[in-house]
Structures are given as structure tokens and as C-alpha cells.
Amino acid sequence: MSDSMISGITVNLFKLIPSKDRIDINYIPSEERSLINDYVHKLDEYGCISGPQYGDYLGLKSGVYFVCNNEVPEGFQYQTLSIDSSSYVMKYIILKYMKRRIEELASEDEVFLPRKWSEYSQITLCENHAIKQSEPWKLFTIRECLTLRVEHIPLEGKNALFLLADVKVRRFSNLSLAKIIEVLLQKGLSLDRIEDILKNHFYRCVINDHYHDCLLKHLNEKEARVTIDDTEQTLPITKIFLNPHPKFTRDFIEIVLGENLGAIDKIRMVLGRQRPKKKIENTVRLINKLLIEKKVFPIILSNVNYHLKAVPQKIVIIGEE
């Protein structure tokens, strides 16, 4: 019989360590998915932090689990339970707490948040400090970013919570119509000539924080008339953005605006090819810088403090020679 061979790989999972094995939490029983979602929405509006449980799972009953920093708002019929502090539902509650804290940091210009930074199961935050900006107009910026998920992984029959973290180098653009007009005016073009040039492109218009594809009809130095779904609207030029993706748009940016994209593209390509060991090291560095030094962690929920151990997990692999 051959001897066993033991090896290991390091993965980007970081353990969340609760200060106590049990957490005191409020609970609203329900088996209706729509009603659970309604409770979650209302509790979040009141400033509580809630998590849905859509079925009986690993010792938890279906319903809504939540904590409130202040008193529980009136009108909710609930009970207080003591559950495992690493239970499945806590992954939703911890992630939601992180979102709120990260929003506070963004409002204080401590971190940079992409447009779609918050999704149901994950969040993305970036360093405010830019690795590189394009020249001469600084229309594009490269930043290091962390994408984060909270995962529940039972280990040897016990609940455990982990932060799944991934680091990426991302490029962001500042292609508002206001900025483009400013650049072209500085290059000596008249507003009429600028309008002729810009009518040939596709744009994204922001209305109530939602993006819509739009076409430019007419502009001045403060606002523009656009067509959205065959309907004309007038919007501030700060709410209209040039689509940066099609190739003819890149040609426009480089040839007409005169922005040099080669340098930042090269840096992004090089940094995007990090070896696994280097990528893990950068992930640990950003976790310490963006989550621990900026006091996203420790997280305090009810009677429990959740600490983040900024050490990547190692998976042991046992095989045969």
C-alpha cells in the first residue's frame, strides 16, 4: 500500500470569529416568502438589521431574524431567541451591517464605491487612492478593489462563517458630458461644433439613480435634450455619460479628446496577471487597510463581537503517492 501524501493550498477565505457561541436575536416566524421579504424591507427601513430564512435549515426555523440598535419598532410580533452565533442566517445580517458601515466610509471619502457596488449577496469597495490616471485629462482611473461575500460553511458538524474576498484592479471612467464639453472647449472648439461631434455617440442617462440608454439631440453648457425610449427629456449634462465600451468611442477618446489610454491599459494588464501567492498577499493587505484599519471590523451585533482573522485559510489535501 502506498504512503499518503499531504499537501495544502491557500484560499481566499478568512474566518469570522464571534466572541460568544450564542447570540440573542429577535425572530418573526413565517413560511411565506413574500411576507418574509416584506418584514425584511420594513425592518431595514427602521434601521434594524435583518436576515431572511426561507425554510427550516440547520436548526433554524423559517422566518425573519433581526437585531436593532435601538428599541424594536412597534407593530412587529416577535420573540427573542438564543441561536448559534455562526448560524446560516447570520451571513446575511453581517453582510448587511458591512454595507452600512462601508456606506458611511464612502460618505466620508474614506473608500471609493463603484456604481453597482452593492448586490444581494456581495459588495465591492475600492481604494480612494488611484494607482494611475490617464493623461492629460484624467478621464480614466485605475484602483484596487475588494469584492466580498460572507459564506456559511459547516466544519466538522459545526457552524462557521467566513469572508470570501477577491482583489481586482479595475478601471473607472469620468466621461460625463460636462467633462467632455469642458475638454473640447479647452481645445478651442465652439459649442456648435462640439454638438455636431457628440451627436454621433451613444450615452447613458441617469434618472433617479437608474441608467438608461439615450441619444443626444441638443445641448448647451448646462443641460442637454436627449431621447430615451422615443421620449425626449432635458437633463443636466452632469447626468449624461458617454458609453466607454464600443471601439469607435475609444477612438474618439484617444484621437478627438487626446487622452492617452495606453499607459493605464498596460498597468491594468500587468497587475491583472498576479500569481496566486501575490494575489493572496494583496488581498490580506487590502483587508487590513479597508476593513480592519477603517473599523468595519470588529462588528458588534446584539451581545456578540465578530472579529475578522486576516489570515487566509489553508485546505489540506491528502492523497497517495
> What confidence tens digit (pLDDT) does each residue in 62-106 have?
999 999 977 888 888 999 999 999 999 999 999 999 999 999 999
Average pLDDT over residues 29-51: 94
Q: Which of 17-31, 49-63, 68-82, 305-319 has the lowest mean pLDDT?
A: 305-319
236/281 same-domain check: no
16/59 same-domain check: yes
pLDDT above 90 for 267: no
165/275 same-domain check: yes
Residue 226 bridge partners (DSSP):
216, 233
The one-letter amino acid at 158: K
182 belongs to a structural domain:
yes
Average pLDDT over residues 38-58: 93
148/279 same-domain check: yes
Average pLDDT over residues 242-266: 85
Band of residue 246 on the pLDDT scale cut at 50, 70, 90:
low
Mean of the per-residue pLDDT values of the chain:
90
85/61 same-domain check: yes
Q: What is the CATH number of the domain that holds 216?
A: 2.30.30
Q: Which residue has the higher pLDDT, 156 or 212?
A: 212
16/61 same-domain check: yes
**Angle at the Cα of 163 (from 98 to 273), degrees rounded to 5?**
110
The pLDDT score that the predictor gives to residue 8 is: 61
Average pLDDT over residues 28-56: 94
192 belongs to a structural domain:
yes
Reduced 3-state DSSP string for 84-109:
ECCCCCHHHHHHHHHHHHHHHHHHCC
312 belongs to a structural domain:
no
CB 249 within 8 A of CB 256: no
CB 111 within 8 A of CB 126: yes
Distances (CA, A) of 320 to 2, 6, 7, 261, 316: 6, 8, 11, 51, 13
Distances (CA, A) of 303 to 18, 82, 246, 294: 10, 10, 52, 22
How many domains does the chain contain in total?
3
151/277 same-domain check: yes
320 belongs to a structural domain:
no
CB 257 within 8 A of CB 183: yes
Average pLDDT over residues 8-30: 92
Can you give the residue range of the structural domain that contains 158?
A: 98-172+264-307
Residue at a domain's end among 50, 65, 90: 90
pLDDT above 90 for 245: no
Distance CA 195, CA 220 (A): 8
pLDDT above 50 for 319: no
268/154 same-domain check: yes
The pLDDT score that the predictor gives to residue 274 is: 77
250 belongs to a structural domain:
no
The pLDDT score that the predictor gives to residue 157 is: 83
252 belongs to a structural domain:
no
253 belongs to a structural domain:
no
- Which residues, 6+ apart, have CB-to-CB distance to 320 below 8 Å? 2, 3, 4, 5
Q: Which of 68-77, 105-114, 141-150 has the lowest mean pLDDT?
A: 68-77
Residue at a domain's end among 46, 74, 90: 90
pLDDT above 70 for 317: no
> What confidence tens digit (pLDDT) does each residue in 164-173 have?
999 999 999 9
Distance CA 316, CA 250 (A): 47
Question: Which grid cell is 104?
Answer: 458611511
Rg of the Cα atoms in the chain? 25
CB 174 within 8 A of CB 141: yes
Residue at a domain's end among 55, 73, 90: 90
Mutual angle of helices 177-186 and 191-198, in 10-degree steps: 130
165/272 same-domain check: yes
Q: Which of 146, 142, 139, 147 is nearest to 170 (CA)?
A: 142
The pLDDT score that the predictor gives to residue 1 is: 43
Q: Which of 4-8, 51-55, 241-245 has the lowest mean pLDDT?
A: 4-8
155/201 same-domain check: no
> What confidence tens digit (pLDDT) does each residue in 175-185 have?
999 999 999 99
318 belongs to a structural domain:
no
51/166 same-domain check: no
The pLDDT score that the predictor gives to residue 11 is: 85
56/104 same-domain check: no
